[in-house]
């Protein structure tokens, strides 16, 4: 795992504290639902997770305001994460619904959490809180270049099963999609990340394109 995407000292304890405080704010006894927290912690330490792990949760919880629907969305948005599947968001939303119903959460809260999770499929939203969550989730795109490159390597590791040429092609499509947007970040809180994000994405895209071109030339010369 990349050094930048591990929990800092005390991180796990901080996460557990945030979860307990969240439940208590809703009048729910944390001890009665420890198995749910344990399941979420276990899920986010699965071996295929080089970026979408507990460190990612910790970062998002620090970036976002302490609103129940945002916090639950942090915990559940990547709860199901199998890079070989295309329905992770729907599966994660389903798990959130089932879990929050078990907690006795209000239907409106559950609907808000599910809406946020499902919006992570295309990272666009109309309502302000969902947009804020999506911007926080994409904040890594505007990180300083060294951290961004570590993130890009971590994503490649999560998709290690994809052949190199195919990965470059699909990754380039994802980057192009973000770059083609009028704005990557939808809220003022993250607008300052727009220029560095575009620079990072363009740099990675150039690297991918260069490697693809070199591979095609090598193949043609054989």
55 by Cβ neighbours in 10 Å (0-12 / 13-18 / 19+) ranks as buried
User: Per-residue pLDDT tens for 42-76?
Assistant: 999 999 999 999 999 999 999 999 999 999 999 99
- pTM for this prediction: 0.92
92 by Cβ neighbours in 10 Å (0-12 / 13-18 / 19+) ranks as buried
User: Per-residue pLDDT tens for 167-187?
Assistant: 999 999 999 999 999 999 999
State both tokens at 27.
Answer: 């009048």
User: Per-residue pLDDT tens for 141-168?
Assistant: 999 999 999 999 999 999 999 999 999 9
Rounded alpha-carbon distances, angstroms, from residue 32 to 28, 39, 68, 102, 126: 8, 14, 18, 11, 36
Give the pLDDT of residue 122: 94
């Amino acid at each position: 795992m990349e050094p930048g995407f591990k929990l800092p000292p005390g991180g796990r304890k901080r996460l557990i504290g945030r979860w307990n405080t969240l439940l208590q704010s809703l009048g729910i006894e944390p001890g009665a639902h420890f198995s749910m927290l344990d399941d979420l912690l276990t899920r986010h330490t699965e071996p295929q997770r080089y970026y979408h792990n507990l460190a990612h949760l910790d970062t998002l919880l620090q970036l976002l305001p302490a609103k129940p629907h945002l916090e639950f969305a942090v915990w559940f948005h990547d709860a199901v994460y199998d890079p070989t599947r295309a329905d992770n968001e729907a599966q994660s939303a389903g798990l959130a619904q089932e879990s929050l119903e078990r907690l006795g959460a209000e239907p409106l809260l559950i609907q808000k959490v599910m809406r946020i999770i499902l919006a992570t499929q295309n990272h666009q939203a109309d309502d302000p809180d969902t947009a804020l969550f999506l911007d926080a989730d994409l904040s890594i795109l505007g990180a300083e270049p060294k951290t961004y490159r570590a993130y890009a390597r971590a994503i490649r590791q999560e998709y290690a099963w994809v052949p190199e040429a195919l990965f470059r092609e699909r990754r380039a499509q994802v980057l192009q999609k973000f770059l083609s947007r009028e704005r990557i970040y939808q809220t003022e809180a993250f607008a300052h990340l727009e220029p560095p994000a575009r620079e990072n994405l363009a740099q990675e895209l150039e690297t991918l394109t260069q490697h693809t071109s070199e591979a095609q030339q090598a193949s043609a010369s054989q």
